[in-house]
Amino acid sequence: MSTRRATIADVARTAGVAPSTASVVFSGKTAVSDATRQRVLDAAAALGYTGPDPRAASLRRGRSGIVGVVVQGPLGTVFLDPVTRLMMDGIADGVAGLGAGLLLLRDDVRDHDAAREHALTTAPLDAAVLVGCNPRMRDSLATLRGRGIPVVVIEGDAGEGVPRIDLDNREAQQQMARHVRSLGHHRVAMVALPRDAARERGWLVPGDTITVDVTRDRLAGMREEFPDAGAFAAAASSIDEGLIAGRVLFADPATRPTAVLAQSDLLAAGVIRAAEEAGLRVPHDVSVTGFDGVNVDGLAPYELTTMAQPAADKGRAAGHAVVAMLEGRDAASFRFTCTFHPGNTTAPA
Amino acid sequence: MSTRRATIADVARTAGVAPSTASVVFSGKTAVSDATRQRVLDAAAALGYTGPDPRAASLRRGRSGIVGVVVQGPLGTVFLDPVTRLMMDGIADGVAGLGAGLLLLRDDVRDHDAAREHALTTAPLDAAVLVGCNPRMRDSLATLRGRGIPVVVIEGDAGEGVPRIDLDNREAQQQMARHVRSLGHHRVAMVALPRDAARERGWLVPGDTITVDVTRDRLAGMREEFPDAGAFAAAASSIDEGLIAGRVLFADPATRPTAVLAQSDLLAAGVIRAAEEAGLRVPHDVSVTGFDGVNVDGLAPYELTTMAQPAADKGRAAGHAVVAMLEGRDAASFRFTCTFHPGNTTAPA
DNA sequence: TTGTAGGCGTTATCAT
DNA sequence: ATGATAACGCCTACAA
């Protein structure tokens, strides 16, 4: 059809006003007489002009209205985790005031050079949130900061000058461990989140380096109360992984733990299934605790004894931090606290 | 610190070359002598220039490198659905060739005017994918098309001229119904996906208008074989909802169905739990079928008899369609086919 | 291989 | 309340 979309200049011309006036009609930055406004609007309608081109506006304003969310791994698996989902919602909420959209960026090992670098260096971001920062994320962080883009990190080691949103993982897990100990348990084991990017399943041994902060901190919290407890790392946070780990823990009736502390609710749900499978009743024969406080779909009638974390609030805080930085204020780091949620999955030893 | 970020002009100046030369060094569109390139790169490093400003480049090129994905409802609940997650992965894959990022846009009932319109009219999109188009989505579609942005719709009524990616929902569900009938079942019931945006739980009665295409089509497919079977609509696609629906179906031992056709695997998983709860064994006492062919976390040792849909492929196809449109070719609509996956949840009546 | 010039579509500033 | 003007930062013919 038409060879070219109408521009605001075209609209202004047919309306018989100056481009700047037409611009103001759309942006609302200055008062315009009703008559003029109407003429501009009519002209726009006639030409099929639907509003300023965001690209041009963005160049001129120096803002794109886009906040990047950098996650690791395929988008599909990212959203497997209920905590991440909640955080995303929180972030969306937190930046809502900007009218900004969330651009999903993946920081993946594959296509290390090509696509990743591409999007990260090339996307028109006003700011970015890094989720679950691990060593690999450091590169992304560097790239972003190099571009002068304000960054907020959620649960990760960010380095100097980067606002971070944190959780009292260690203290919370310790609190849970204390609860379990107060019930009289001594033979306890932990089912841990992945230890590093390789995500290998298996027992954690003392010398291991654990590069995932969350895993390390929750483990440390548990060890505060049970220094000698074994910990089995899962390959992911899922019910199926919890089931696999649980089978390992319950394999030998002679040495099986009387309480299992899982580092996530999903893992805990899997451990419960493993217990059922092994003919153990929860919490009668074995106590199981979770972490996160999310609703595990399909777990009813169990209600997990867990440490509830304010996942959405974390996201929201990150969003607010982003807004603050964009407005020139400086954003403080913030540390959230988990709360103990008693359920029906723990009982005296 | 510095009052202003360096531009390519600054780099060119300190390197002692013309801006266009410096530009070429970064874009690689033309050959440049190694000496010149090095000087430019050095100058860039010295000035802390990390590459062209995407906003300016995007204006000049007429492309932003951003593909919008429009979903309905809070991100967190959207991604609760494994099919959606897989589709997202597929879309990401499909547009990978563009080096584009995915911008999440929500088409929500809340903030109908303010934020939504805002993002949809304001975001610098090259193209968009509408996921799960229902009546409300029509507005978004209109907005986007008004802006001249190429749009692809996945499983939804798009209107003329919009490429759509579809699934043989009706035929597939009919195939499953036939399987169930061939096993000798006569008393069957369906657990359906939500019927409309209101997502009210309850029995579907003949006069009902079902605005969700997927729900309607799968229901129709089942009715082809079992014209009189009852159908109970869930409020969402989740295990918990399936459990609730299953409890209703199994409430009265006298009238309980011997086979339940669920419109999603998650619902089917819930129905299985309900059956267990009611003391019924699957598939001995009651057969249960799913739809989607996703891995339901925590369902082991059951393996659902289900219709597997190529969810990631759908997303990929949408991505390819977007790429095609962006390259000026026109994108054809495509209809995917489900395949029957036998599991261990169905047996003779 | 390198440089020159013009414009992509807006909007901020300043003057009227 | 409206208009003229000048960037915003880059890219691409085209000329040299």
A21 touches strand C (CB under 7 A): no
> Which of A91, A122, A141, A302 is most worth mutating to test chain B (most B CB atoms within 10 A of its CB)?
A122
Q: What is the pLDDT of residues B211-247, one digit of tens each?
A: 888 999 999 999 999 999 999 999 999 999 999 999 9
Q: B116: which chain A residues are within 8 Å (Cβ-Cβ)? A: none
Greater model confidence, B94 or B74: B94
Which chain B residues are within 8 Å of A96, Cβ to Cβ?
111, 115
Given a cut of 80, whether residue B120 has pLDDT beyond it is yes
Write down the pLDDT at residue B231. 97
A339 touches strand D (CB under 7 A): no
Q: How far is the CA of B66 from the C1' of D10 (A)?
A: 18
Residue B203 forms beta bridges with which residues? B232
- Spanning CA of A328 to C1' of D12, the rounded length in angstroms is 36
A202-203/A230-233 β-pairing: antiparallel
A to B CB pairs, distance under 8 Å:
171
How does DSSP classify residue A275? H
CATH superfamily of B169-309: Response regulator (3.40.50.2300)
* pLDDT for B302 beyond 60: yes
Closest chain B residue by Cα to residue A315 = B76
Comparing A237 with B28, the larger pLDDT belongs to A237
Best CA proximity match to B52, nearest among B32, B79, B26: B26
Domain range annotation of chain A: 8-52, 64-167+311-337, 169-309
Q: Are A229 and A159 in contact (CB under 8 A)?
A: no
Per-residue pLDDT of chain A (349 residues; tens, 9 = 90+): 445 688 999 999 999 999 999 999 988 888 888 999 999 999 999 999 999 999 999 999 888 989 999 887 777 777 778 898 889 889 988 888 787 888 988 776 455 445 445 678 889 999 999 987 566 777 888 888 888 899 999 987 777 788 999 999 999 999 999 999 999 999 999 999 999 878 899 999 988 899 888 999 999 999 999 999 999 999 999 999 999 999 999 999 999 999 999 999 999 999 999 999 999 999 999 999 999 999 888 787 899 999 999 999 999 999 999 999 988 888 889 999 999 999 999 999 8
pTM of the model: 0.86
Contacts of A105 in chain B (CB under 8 A): 101
pLDDT score of B156 more than 90: no
Judging contacts by C-beta atoms under 8 Å, the chain B residues touching residue A314 are none
| Closest B-chain CA to A95 | B115
Q: How far is B224 from chain A (nearest CA, A)?
A: 31
Q: Compute the distance between CA of residue A202 and CA of residue B167 in angstroms, rounded to an integer.
A: 41
What is the model's pLDDT at position B117? 54
Q: Which nucleotide is nearest to A49 (CA to C1')?
A: C9
The protein residue nearest C1 (Cα–C1') is: B32
Dump pLDDT digits (tens) for B33-92.
888 888 999 899 989 888 899 999 999 988 898 999 988 777 777 777 889 888 988 998
How would you label B309-320 residue by residue, b for 16+ Cβ within 10 Å and e otherwise? Answer: bbbbbbbbbbbb
One fold for both A64-167+311-337 and A169-309? yes
Q: Which fold has domain A64-167+311-337?
A: Rossmann fold (3.40.50)
Percent of chain B with pLDDT over 70: 95
Burial A208-239 (b: 16+ CB within 10 A, else e): eebbbbbbbbbbebbbebbeebbbbbbbbbbb
pLDDT digits (tens, 9 = 90+) for B4-21: 678 999 999 998 898 889
Q: Name the residue with higher pLDDT: B29 or A146.
A: A146
Q: What's the per-residue H, E or C state across A43-94?
A: HHHHHCCCCCCHHHHHHHHCCCCEEEEEECCCHHHHCCCHHHHHHHHHHHHH
Cβ of B5 near strand D (under 7 Å)? The reply is yes
Four-CA torsion A156, A162, A165, A167, nearest 10 degrees: 50
CA distance A229 to chain B (A): 26
pLDDT tens digit string along B36-52? Answer: 888 999 899 989 888 89
C-alpha distance from A3 to closest chain B C-alpha (Å): 12
Q: Tell whether the model's pLDDT for residue B296 goes beyond 90.
A: no
Residues 169-198 of chain B: which lie with beta carbon within 7 Å of strand C?
A: none
| Contact yes or no for A121 and B50 at CB 8 A | yes
3-state secondary structure chain B: CCCCCCCHHHHHHHHCCCHHHHHHHHHCCCCCCHHHHHHHHHHHHHHCCCCCCHHHHHHHHCCCCEEEEEECCCHHHHCCCHHHHHHHHHHHHHCHHHCCEEEEEECCCCCHHHHHHHHHHHCCCCEEEEECCCCCHHHHHHHHHHCCCCEEEECCCCCCCCCEEEECHHHHHHHHHHHHHHCCCCCEEEEECCCCCCCCCEECCCCCCCCCHHHHHHHHHHHHHCCCCEEEECCCCCHHHHHHHHHHHHCCCCCCCCEEEECCHHHHHHHHHHHHHCCCCCCCCCEEECCECCCCCCCCCCCCEEEECCHHHHHHHHHHHHHHHHCCCCCCCEEECCEEECCCCCCCC
Asked if the Cβ–Cβ distance from A50 to B146 is below 8 Å, we say yes
Q: For residue range A145-202, what is the model confidence (pLDDT) as tens digits?
A: 888 899 999 987 777 788 999 999 999 999 999 999 999 999 999 999 999 878 899 9
Contact flag B54-A123 (C-beta cutoff 8 Å): yes
Query: Taking CB atoms and an 8 Å cutoff, what residues of chain A touch B88?
Result: 75-76, 79
Please tell me the distance from the alpha carbon of residue B193 to that of residue A50, in angstroms, as a whole number. Answer: 37
Nearest-nucleotide field for A35 (CA, C1'): D1
